[in-house]
Structure formats: structure tokens, C-alpha cells
Structure 1
Amino acid sequence: MAKRIQIAQYGGPETLQWIDFNPSDPDDDEVQVENKAIGINYIDTYVRSGLYPVPELPSGIGTEAAGMVTKVGNRVTAIKPGDRVVYAQSALGAYSEIHNVHQDKIALLPDAISFEQAAASFLKGLTVHYLLRQTYEVQADEIFLFHAAAGGVGLIACQWAKALGAHLIGTVGSAEKARLAKDRGAWATINYREEDIAQRVSELTDGKKVRVVYDSVGKATWEASLNCLQRRGLMVSFGNASGPVTGVNLAILNQKGSLYLTRPSLNGYITTRDELQRASNDLFSMLASGAIKVDVPESQRFPLREAQRAHTQLENRATQGSSLLIP
């Protein structure tokens, strides 16, 4: 017997249930992982609420964790029991003491990186990798806008941008979060509660605006983001923290300067083991070198059974950076 979190209906944090279950043996192409640290991501709240429906309820939740391999399937050759591993694109169910994961979704974890560092950074770090290096390849000295700069993804983006020599303007919701983003490498910050985002971007760029905006907030920042873009700039909408962007009139892209728009996700960029290996190697190099540091405050390390409290804090914007569940 083991413990896990599941949802039997969609709704708020109270729908997260702490239950017993019997882990099955891994299938031929699966690896069984004893989780040591579990990543909490905003997308988990979308699954729980029903914004991203699951095929069937009840269902596990979560896709990211780091731990030790305990069993492997018959066709698994590159991974063995005792290996330290991390994953971020598993089938739902990572909020669990034990989880079976397809071998193509598993990365071997270097000894220099702890389980907690890995679980706090893997999905977020792979996300920053595809955003800054593939969706649009940010260049040295380039100025760009990144929303929610003090969140888990945002703080990694601040550090990665600094390592590239690029100038990240980050939106934040408080002076404390502004200090945190600047400490991690943001070139400038904008407090969206007190300042007009588009106006400040224009001021910071001497009226030139930016070529790319990365927006995980969604509905609340949609128009402001478009107003920050240069002619033929790229709007990268990769999240819905304030609600989804709906009913878009495509003519607005024309009216604001023949803009480009994309709605990417990690699963569109990492679809094979080779793609996972290349991206994870880049991330691990940044972590091992110290260019990216991931520090999880003790107040944001929750026992697995307290997933409800973790989700409540996340949705109330009471967290900074990454949070973890510890089995």
C-alpha cells in the first residue's frame, strides 16, 4: 500500500483527496519511481478545476517529481533500479509516494543536483528552455517582457536571461516580488498593481517597445501585452493564471502592427527521448554551474498530505518561486 492525492470531482483545493492505493507493477516500457520530492505547478490547478479536463474521474494529479527507481519494465534498458531520476511529463499521478512513468519521460539526474532542486525546477526549467531558446531565440542585449517574473517559471527565466546577457523586464505584484526578481537577474520590473505595463515598457525602451512578450497570466494582461509589442512582434501566450483568453478578434493583430501570436506548451516541444535529453542537459548545465539557483523556502515545502493547503497558497498568490510536496 502507498499514499497519493486524487480528485474525484472538479472544483477547488478541497477536492484533493488523500487516499491509500496499491501501486501496480510497471508496464514493459515503464519505470517505477519512489518519489522524494514532487513539483507543484500552476497547470495542476487547471486539471483540478476542470479547465483542463481529464479522460476519467477519479484521477491522480501532477506530472513532475524526482526520486529513486525501484522497478523497471521488461523493455527498459537505459534505466535501472537505484538510479536517481526526474520527470515532468508523466501521466497524471505524480502527487504520490510511488508513480509509474514511461521511460521516454524520464531523465537521469546528475549527483550534483538534489531531488528537491530537480523537482522544483524541471518542468519550469524545461518551459523556460523552450520559451527563450526555441519559441523565440532571445539574443544578448535584447530587451523583452516576461509576465509573473517572481513565479516559479519567472525566476528561472530571470536567471536564464541574465546568463544570456539579455534584458528581461518582469511584471510583478508587489515591491517584495520586484526585489526578488531583480535579485535573480531581471533587468527591470513593473508593478502591475501600480503602473501601466505598456507605458512603462515604452519608457524603458525609449519608445521602441519589445519584439517578444511571454505571457502566462492570460485574460488580465492580454491587451497590455499586445500594446508592448513592436510592429511584427511575437505574443507568446503560455498560461491562464487570470483566466483563459477567449473570443479573440484576429483583426486586432493587424491593427496593432501585423503581430504574430503563438500558444505553445512543453508537450509541443519535447515529444521524444532525444528532445528531452537535449533540453534537460541544457537545464542541468545551468543548474550545476550555478547560473540558475532554485531555493524553495521552508514555508513552501508541504507534506504530500497537505496538497490542499499548497494549492490554496498557490492560487492566492501567497508563494514566490517554486513550491514542493514532500512524501
Structure 2
Amino acid sequence: MASNKAAWIKKPGGLIEVETVEKWIPDRGELLVQVEAVNFNPIDAKLQRSDLFQPQYPLIVGFTFAGTVISTGPDVGSVKPSDRVVVARWGQAGIENKFGALQKYALALEENTLKLEPEITFEDASGVIANLATVVSALNIYMGLSLPPVTGKAQKNGKRILVYGGSSAVGGLAVKYASDAGYEVVTTSSTANKKLVEERNAAHIIDHCQPKEDILRELRANGPYEGIFEAIGSQATTQLMVELLRETGGQFFSTSPSPGDDQIPKNVQKTWAGYSETLASREANRALRVWYMESYLPEALKSRSVWPNPALWLNGGLNSAQEALDLLYDGKVSGRKVYLNPQD
């Protein structure tokens, strides 16, 4: 096996540094993966630039990846060398650098790994596994909504939810997932990404580029909502949700904390969590995790009943990691998913 290299962040706000690292040897319940697709999410960029999450440095970021199994440790039975897999970095793996996605060869926990059928691309698998887990957790655990069937769609239940940010990576998956569960989904998008959102069966799409007063008027006119999921996690979208709920009070669920959250009025509650981690690691949610990893996700990938946003692949391997983080942090990615292949 060739030498291993990883993209490190050495200090808060520090730029990516690509360096040679040790060749990891899988321990019990672990496997070594040749990483061939790293999927980036806004949380990766926020870990580098924001102190809201207070990570431990130095760190190797990247929470979802796909590739080929090189070797396995003791007691690994679900995959073998040469199998194609997708991995989410949950639980113990979330805090140890040997499990970080941004390296040529990363370790994975078997329990966080799904073997892929030949027809499923690394791109689709890595673009869905953790983002869709976030949706499952937010909508089913936190918001108490109904599950969709593993195959097909549920009958319409007459209930309406709001997913703010329908063209975002998580928001788009939430629109399709909730629609398949029988909900009418009101969401937002730019005109440029409207077709992308329409394909996910939104009941009503609001142009988020219009003046704030017009957005709020449409949001109110299309309510009331069984639940509100704000899938952008920015200060601006938080403020918009606060304005929506200021008079009536209420709760909304967001994908991220943001500056100024401590100024939210008392009658409005913003709830944020590490949603996919809640699904993956809490014992109380084990049955839902099993349903997701062993039933719903494999079928969703096979049938492509859910799918990630179109891919934006960056050339240059790990040397393009900083470019990817900058694009996400600066908000220059719309309706796309950013990927790189560390083997390039």
C-alpha cells in the first residue's frame, strides 16, 4: 500500500496542511478503506472557522466518505477486502483522527459502514448517508413526524411542514423524505434551483430571493405547519424564523447554532442538535438506527428514491481540501455537493 497522507487543521482558523501520516492498522471492529470520495458539508467549514463547536486540534475533518476496503480487523464480518463501502464518522470515530475522511486511507467502524451494491456510486452513497441520517433524526426523533415506507410512498396525511432551504444538501433530502412520508412540504429555493426542488415533490416553493417581507407573507399564508425544519443554519435564516414566529411563539429546528442565538425572544425556541449522532449513538434510538442502516438506506440508494444534489468534483485530491472548505464557508455552493478524491 502506498504511503498515507492526510489534510490537517493544526489550530483554530488554521489552513489545511497536507502531510504524510502513519498507515493505520484496523483493530477489532474496524476496517481500513482506500478513500475515493469525500463528501463535504458546511459543518466541515464551520469547524475550521468558528469557535461555536470547539473541536480538539490538530484534527482531520471530513465525516462521510466512500471507497474500497483494503483490510479488516478482528471480528469484522459484514465486509471484506475489495468490497465497496460508504462510511459515516459517528460515535467514537468522530473524535479520533484516524477515522477522518480527508486522507488517502482512513479507518472506519464496521457499525458505521454500509456495503454498496455495484450499481451504487461512491458519489451518491457518500452524499446521502450522513445528511439523510440528519433528516431522519430531525424529523422523526425531534419533530415526531411519521416514517415513510421503506419502498413507495405513504398516503397523504393532510399535514403540512416547512423545510426552509429546499435546495440545500440536507433540505433537499428532507423535502423528499417528508413528502414520501405523506406530508405536504412547503419549502424555499432560488429560481435557479427551483427545478431541483420540484423533482423532490415539494407542495409549494417560495422564492427566497424576494424581499424578506414577501417571504414572510408567503410562509404565513401557507401555514400552519406541523413542524418547521430550518436546513441552512445561518444567522440570517435564524432571524427569519424568529420573525415568522415572533407574534405567535413556537419552535423551529435548525441544522446549526449561529451567532446571536442568545438574543432569540423567549417565546421562540430554536432547537439544534448533532442530529445524525443522536440517531447513531443513543441507545434509545437503536431500533430507528437499525431501520435506517439496514432497511431504509440500502433500499433508498438502490432505488434512488432519495439522491444528493448534483456533484461538484474538485481536482487535485487533498490539495483541494481548503478550496472546498472556502467554497462552503463563503456560501458559494448552491444546489451542489462538493467532493474530492484523495487518490488524485
TM-score higher than 0.5: yes
Match of 1:177 in 2: 193
SS at match of 2:70: strand
Q: Does residue 238 in structure 1 map to residue 255 in structure 2? A: yes
Q: CA–CA distance in 2 between the matches of 1:178 and 1:289?
A: 23
Q: Which residue of 108, 112, 115 maps to 2:122?
A: 115
Q: Does residue 61 in structure 1 map to residue 68 in structure 2? A: no
Map 1:239-318 → 2, pairs under 5 A? 239-240=256-257, 243-248=258-263, 251-253=266-268, 261-265=270-274, 266-271=276-281, 276-280=289-293, 281-294=295-308, 296-297=310-311, 299-304=312-317, 305-318=319-332
Q: Using the aligned pairs only, state the percent identity.
A: 21
Q: Does residue 212 in structure 1 map to residue 213 in structure 2? A: no
Letter in 2 for 1:96: Q
Contact persistence 1:178–1:190 (CA under 8 A) = no
Q: CA–CA distance in 2 between the matches of 1:314 and 1:168?
A: 26
Q: Which residue of 208, 214, 226 maps to 1:192?
A: 208
Q: CA–CA distance in 1 between the matches of 2:142 and 2:45?
A: 25
> Is the alpha carbon distance of 1:85 and 1:277 closer, same or farther for their aligned partners in structure 2, counting shifts above 3 Å?
farther
TM-score by length of 1: 0.84
SS at match of 1:146: strand
- The worse-fitting range, judged by mean Cα deviation, of 1-10 and 134-143 is 134-143
Map 1:43-58 → 2, pairs under 5 A? 43-51=43-51, 52-57=53-58
SS at match of 1:323: strand
Structure 1: segments with no counterpart, 5+ residues: 254-259
Match of 1:256 in 2: none
Q: CA–CA distance in 1 between the matches of 2:87 and 2:28?
A: 18
**Alpha-carbon shift at residue 112 of structure 1 (Å):** 3.6
Match of 1:7 in 2: 9
Match of 2:77 in 1: 77
Letter in 1 for 2:172: L
**Alpha-carbon shift at residue 40 of structure 1 (Å):** 0.5
Contact persistence 1:302–1:324 (CA under 8 A) = no
> Is the alpha carbon distance of 1:317 and 1:56 closer, same or farther for their aligned partners in structure 2, counting shifts above 3 Å?
closer
Cα shift readout 1:155-206 (whole Å, capped 9, x = no counterpart): 212222332232222223x32023322233222222333143332111223x
SS at match of 2:327: helix
Q: CA–CA distance in 2 between the matches of 1:95 and 1:274?
A: 30
Q: CA–CA distance in 1 between the matches of 2:49 and 2:185?
A: 32
Match of 2:153 in 1: none
> Is the alpha carbon distance of 1:66 and 1:76 closer, same or farther for their aligned partners in structure 2, counting shifts above 3 Å?
same
Q: CA–CA distance in 1 between the matches of 2:22 and 2:176?
A: 41
Contact persistence 2:167–2:193 (CA under 8 A) = yes
TM-score by length of 2: 0.80
Cα shift readout 1:32-91 (whole Å, capped 9, x = no counterpart): 11112111111111221243232232x211111011111122243333222222111243
Letter in 2 for 1:201: L
Q: CA–CA distance in 2 between the matches of 1:245 and 1:121?
A: 30
> Is the alpha carbon distance of 1:188 and 1:81 closer, same or farther for their aligned partners in structure 2, counting shifts above 3 Å?
same
> Is the alpha carbon distance of 1:100 and 1:125 closer, same or farther for their aligned partners in structure 2, counting shifts above 3 Å?
same
> Is the alpha carbon distance of 1:239 and 1:169 closer, same or farther for their aligned partners in structure 2, counting shifts above 3 Å?
same
> Is the alpha carbon distance of 1:71 and 1:49 closer, same or farther for their aligned partners in structure 2, counting shifts above 3 Å?
same
| Paired positions, count | 311
**Alpha-carbon shift at residue 223 of structure 1 (Å):** 4.0
**Alpha-carbon shift at residue 301 of structure 1 (Å):** 4.4
Contact persistence 1:29–1:76 (CA under 8 A) = yes
> Is the alpha carbon distance of 1:79 and 1:300 closer, same or farther for their aligned partners in structure 2, counting shifts above 3 Å?
closer
Letter in 1 for 2:178: A
Match of 2:162 in 1: 145
Match of 2:152 in 1: none
> Is the alpha carbon distance of 1:275 and 1:35 closer, same or farther for their aligned partners in structure 2, counting shifts above 3 Å?
farther
> Is the alpha carbon distance of 1:11 and 1:325 closer, same or farther for their aligned partners in structure 2, counting shifts above 3 Å?
same
SS at match of 2:262: coil
Contact persistence 1:34–1:97 (CA under 8 A) = yes
